[in-house]
Amino acid sequence: MKKSAAKPAGKAQAGATRKTASKSAVRVANIPGISPDAQPLAPARRPGEELRSRANAIFDILSEAHADAHCALEYRDPFQLLVMTILSAQCTDDVVNKVSPGLFARYPDAEAMASADLDDVMKIIRSTGFFRAKANNIVAAGRALVERHGGRVPEGMAELVALPGVGRKTANIVRGNAFHLPGMGVDTHVRRLSQRMALTRSDDPVEIEGDLCALWPPDRWTMGTHFLIFHGRRVCHARAPRCSGCVVQDLCPSAFLKAPGRAIKAPALAARVSRARTKPRVSSPRRKPR
């Protein structure tokens, strides 16, 4: 067998050093009022005033169009929200809301979940998909809560993401809704809309969180999440967005494109933003009678 030529030691070592540095270098934002462990990533590029202005205009318009936006998971306490958010991965909130009452009737708190029968949990949550992994995670999370936090769900980001099955999205949803702390939860809707609206260039949820947090002040993070989710469900659908009925079409670079998400050039976007500023704000579109 022919052996490949070895790379020079100096170049190989330099390449390894660059890869290690890129993985270990974490750009953490320094946003006032946010605890160090909850700081999002700093954006790769500092956003300009034009982008900030457009992002906050989108927030204002969506806040009127979706004034009823809220966390769609029907929870009663932080423990239920934690479990339900874990179950919501690759699953609709409606399915989670249907499954959860039966789950919490048998395992109402962290102590009960910690000693739950795994096969029974899998049977209950089967319809949520990936039920084996999810069952393992919520039972393990119950044990971790009992062992580390006396059965209570912690508020801190570091403590939350250390729980089985919990990443920054789940932690931010729990922090923002159960504890009323600033949190930007990037789910599939937030990811899709922020890309289509050119509020981020990233495809990574943690980086998208950092980009959005750099555009909106902390008191807009939690509701910003809900506004984008509701707009994604009602208007900006994944396969066929209803651009004609979108209240932020003049602020969206992807409006009416055949391939949504492909940003238009800056001059065209600037013209749209200029027109949007001079137009009266539009309320939520009503469905026309058939």
* Per-residue pLDDT reduced to its tens digit, 104-125: 999 999 999 999 999 999 999 9
Within 13 Å of residue 101, how many CA atoms lie on the same side as its CB? 5
Answer yes or no: is pLDDT of 24 > 80: no
Answer yes or no: is pLDDT of 38 > 60: yes
Q: What is the pLDDT of residue 27?
A: 83
| 135-157 exposure pattern, b = at least 16 Cβ within 10 A, e = fewer | bebbbbbbbbbbeeeebebbbbb
* Mean pLDDT, residues 14-30 taken together: 53
Higher pLDDT, 12 or 120: 120
**% the chain with pLDDT above 70:** 80
Please give the Cα distance from 225 to 45 (Å, whole number).
22
Tens of pLDDT, residues 162-206 = 999 999 999 999 999 999 999 999 999 999 999 999 999 999 999
Q: What is the pLDDT of residue 10?
A: 44
Binned at pLDDT 50, 70 and 90, residue 258 comes out as low
CA 173 to chain centre: 8
* Mean pLDDT, residues 220-242 taken together: 97
Q: What is the pLDDT of residue 275?
A: 55
User: Which CATH superfamily groups domain 78-178?
Assistant: Hypothetical protein; domain 2 (1.10.340.30)
Binned at pLDDT 50, 70 and 90, residue 17 comes out as very low
Q: What is the pLDDT of residue 44?
A: 85
Q: What is the pLDDT of residue 45?
A: 85
Domain ranges of the chain: 49-64+189-276, 78-178
Q: What is the pLDDT of residue 285?
A: 45
Answer yes or no: is pLDDT of 268 > 80: no
Answer yes or no: is pLDDT of 31 > 70: yes
Q: Find tokens 């209570």 and name the residue.
A: 152
Answer yes or no: is pLDDT of 7 > 70: no
**From start to end of 185-278, where are the E strands?**
none
Answer yes or no: is pLDDT of 94 > 50: yes
Binned at pLDDT 50, 70 and 90, residue 70 comes out as very high
According to CATH, what is the number of the domain 49-64+189-276? Answer: 1.10.1670.10
- Residue 276 structure tokens: 């949007």
* Mean pLDDT, residues 221-225 taken together: 98
89-103, 117-131, 224-238, 245-259: the lowest-pLDDT one: 245-259
Answer yes or no: is pLDDT of 21 > 90: no
Q: Tell me if 49-64+189-276 shares its fold with 78-178.
A: no
Q: What is the pLDDT of residue 277?
A: 45
Which of 195, 163, 166, 160 has its CA nearest to residue 179? 160
* Mean pLDDT, residues 68-93 taken together: 97
Within 13 Å of residue 130, how many CA atoms lie on the same side as its CB? 14
- Residue 148 structure tokens: 């580390």
Helix/strand/coil percent split, the chain, to 5: 60, 0, 40
Q: Catalytic positions, please?
A: 169, 187
Q: What are phi and psi of 28, to 5 degrees?
A: -95, 135
Contact 163, 143 (CB under 8 A): no
Higher pLDDT, 275 or 145: 145
Reading phi first (left if > 0) and then psi (alpha if -120 to 50, else beta), residue 285 is in beta
Q: What is the pLDDT of residue 39?
A: 95
Q: What is the pLDDT of residue 62?
A: 98
Binned at pLDDT 50, 70 and 90, residue 289 comes out as very low
Q: What is the pLDDT of residue 159?
A: 98
